[in-house]
């Protein structure tokens, strides 16, 4: 399951925003290594009191991430559940969530094509690891990608990302939330969330690729819920990026027929082809032209 953390071990820091049904805070965790104490930066993900009924799902998310270890998966130290509070304690990732980082840096030369391809490839490695272990994540999106290292084009140091926990499972969330999460939630999961599978993670990966390469836009952000539903009923596609090979990979992942979606080994191979392809032609285009 997961390690139980005592409230006394934790010191609360600044609020860092919120996830779905959770608030996140920076914190410190006191821990004793060979009987002298160490203070470690942690991220405290607190379930909203109004959604205490979801605590089991938060614990399930913590448990899944605690059972596996991979360099591109977030490290979860454990859970602290005292009286009304349900808190997931995880490693503090220096640069926070990718969706916010992309918005803040959308015209910065640092966040260029090779930077984005490197991030996409690392996410592919994390997903391939989960696929090999038959573990469904269920909430792949740029908001759940955390940036450990920004990278530096000058020294050729690549960025480094970690995939966050999935949070409250889509399988217990109301239909309104599923519709609101179109186009990240795969079509087969809208009618019946129990269709959540390794294949639906591939769909979400495609949407996340679109996010990474869009200049900080949110896909279908301007659509009403009913229009989002119609988007799926009409088998529509996201606006294709100009880079046709990238558009092709996104559309393969976002195949309405889930058996046609490529495995992550194939996705990584295609990403490597994009990396070695003549994208130099593209790299002097402004990001919005990709």
Q: Where does this chain bind ligand J9D (CB under 6 A)? A: 16-17, 19, 24, 43, 74, 90-97, 143-144, 146, 164
Measured from the CB of residue 115, what is the shortest distance to ligand J9D in angstroms? 18
Measured from the CB of residue 141, what is the shortest distance to ligand J9D in angstroms? 9
Pairing type for strands 36-47 and 145-149 reads unpaired
- Strand ranges (DSSP E) for 123-168? 145-149, 160-163
Q: In Å, how far are 163, 197, 274 from 139, measured between CA atoms?
A: 10, 11, 25
Q: Which is nearer to ligand J9D, 92 or 129 (CB)?
A: 92
Return the structure tokens found at 70.
């991979």
Phi, psi of 87 (to 5 degrees): -125, 125
Q: Which is nearer to ligand J9D, 19 or 78 (CB)?
A: 19
Q: Which is nearer to ligand J9D, 86 or 279 (CB)?
A: 86
Q: How far apart (Å, rounded) are the C-alpha atoms in residues 141 and 201?
A: 10
Measured from the CB of residue 202, what is the shortest distance to ligand J9D in angstroms? 20
Measured from the CB of residue 232, what is the shortest distance to ligand J9D in angstroms? 24
Q: Which is nearer to ligand J9D, 122 or 187 (CB)?
A: 122
Q: In Å, how far are 90, 129, 140, 289 from 73, measured between CA atoms?
A: 11, 10, 12, 31
Query: CA nearest 214: which of 241, 237, 187, 193?
Result: 241
Q: Which is nearer to ligand J9D, 61 or 246 (CB)?
A: 61
Would you call 77 helix, strand, or coil by DSSP?
strand
Measured from the CB of residue 278, what is the shortest distance to ligand J9D in angstroms? 35
Measured from the CB of residue 2, what is the shortest distance to ligand J9D in angstroms? 15
Query: CA nearest 88: which of 123, 70, 64, 122?
Result: 64
Q: How far apart (Å, rounded) are the C-alpha atoms in residues 237 and 240?
A: 8
Residue whose token pair is 């046609």: 260
Q: Which is nearer to ligand J9D, 93 or 182 (CB)?
A: 93
* Angle, CA of 237, 243 and 249, to the nearest 5°: 55
| Burial (0-12, 13-18, 19+ Cβ within 10 Å), 154 | exposed
Measured from the CB of residue 109, what is the shortest distance to ligand J9D in angstroms? 21
Measured from the CB of residue 148, what is the shortest distance to ligand J9D in angstroms? 9
Return the structure tokens found at 170.
């889509």
Residue nearest to ligand J9D (CB): 96
Q: Which is nearer to ligand J9D, 41 or 289 (CB)?
A: 41
Return the structure tokens found at 111.
């966040």
Q: Which is nearer to ligand J9D, 184 or 279 (CB)?
A: 184
């Amino acid at each position: 399951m997961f390690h139980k953390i005592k409230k006394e071990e934790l010191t609360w820091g600044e609020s860092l925003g919120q996830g779905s049904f959770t608030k996140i805070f920076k914190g410190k965790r006191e821990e004793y290594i060979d009987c002298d104490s160490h203070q470690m930066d942690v991220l405290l993900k607190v379930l909203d009191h109004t959604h205490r009924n979801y605590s089991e799902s938060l614990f399930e998310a913590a448990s899944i991430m605690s059972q596996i270890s991979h360099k591109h998966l977030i490290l979860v130290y454990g859970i602290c559940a005292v009286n009304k509070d349900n808190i997931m304690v995880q490693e503090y990732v220096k640069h926070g969530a990718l969706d916010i980082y992309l918005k803040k840096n959308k015209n910065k030369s640092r966040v260029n094509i090779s930077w984005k391809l490197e991030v996409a490839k690392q996410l592919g490695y994390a997903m391939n690891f989960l696929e090999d272990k038959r573990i469904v994540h269920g909430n792949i999106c740029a908001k759940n990608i955390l940036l450990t290292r920004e990278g530096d084009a000058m020294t050729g140091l690549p960025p480094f990302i970690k995939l966050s926990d999935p949070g409250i499972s889509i399988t217990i969330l109301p239909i309104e939330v599923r519709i609101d999460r179109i186009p990240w939630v795969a079509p087969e999961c809208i009618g019946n969330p129990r269709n959540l599978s390794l294949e639906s993670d591939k769909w979400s990966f495609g949407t996340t690729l679109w996010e990474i390469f869009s200049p900080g836009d949110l896909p279908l952000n301007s659509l009403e819920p009913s229009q989002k539903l119609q988007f799926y009923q009409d088998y529509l596609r996201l606006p294709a990026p100009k880079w046709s090979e990238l558009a092709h990979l996104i559309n393969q992942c976002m195949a309405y027929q889930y058996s046609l979606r490529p495995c992550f080994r194939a996705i990584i191979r295609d990403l490597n082809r994009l990396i070695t392809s003549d994208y130099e032609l593209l790299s002097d285009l402004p990001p919005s032209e990709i």
